[in-house]
Chain A
């Protein structure tokens, strides 16, 4: 059974710092990996999706990398801002044959950026 772990569970940084969030998964047979942002009491906003054949994706100040063979992904946030404060979730789309397209999520990293 696929398991996704996110470290750290919570992170507090001063504004302007660069930071890295980590995600690991136990089964490397995946279609893709997504990073999401969740604000308190809200749904999920997709940040980046990396296909299994890709090594990284970039969007603005965000860069996500994927090392499928080692079961790891990182989300790099440059020049953090207070508005980046949220919970960041990593999810993998396991390859499990025809008919199954469920995402498996980690528990998230709660990020606080201090002004």
Chain B
């Protein structure tokens, strides 16, 4: 069906608050990825799911960041005790499967601003 969707498109929150960012992958895609893009930089990998499990979370910056994908489709990135340095665009991508032919399709991103 449609492409990868992300909600909200913009989120402004105060320092110390909790936020949740949502990603709806392309229907039928089993692999899902989260990236973070700071101003003037390329996206940086955060975490990757194959099905319901986090296959690689090596990019999560610290334990304030957590992501889930309970039913193997929609994923939520959760950030606790937000800091101003968390301000960035959070991008989600999905692919049909994870492997050599895994072209990743990206969503429009969620712009997070921590004041």
Contact = CB atoms under 8 A, between A and B. Distances in A.
A42 B42 contact: no
Nearest to B59: A102
A4 B45 CA distance: 14
A49 B103 contact: yes
A9 B99 CA distance: 31
Contact of A105 (B33, B42, B56, B109): B42
Interface residues of A, number: 27
Contact of B100 (A31, A44, A99): A31
B52 interface: no
Nearest to B4: A43
A42 B104 CA distance: 16
Interface size class for chain B? 20 to 34
A52 B102 CA distance: 12
Contact of A108 (B6, B42, B101): B42
A31 B100 CA distance: 6
B106 A43 contact: yes
Nearest to A93: B102
- Chain A interface main SS type: strand
Contacts of B58: 100, 102
A4 B6 CA distance: 27
Nearest to A106: B42
Interface string A59-84: 00000000000000000000000000
B104 A46 contact: yes
A42 B108 contact: yes
Interface of A: 4, 31-32, 34, 36, 41-46, 49, 51-52, 89, 91, 93, 99-108
Given A91-B43, A101-B95, 14 more contacts: A32-B100, A41-B111, A43-B91, A43-B108, A46-B105, A46-B106, A99-B55, A101-B33, A101-B55, A101-B98, A101-B99, A102-B48, A102-B56, A103-B33
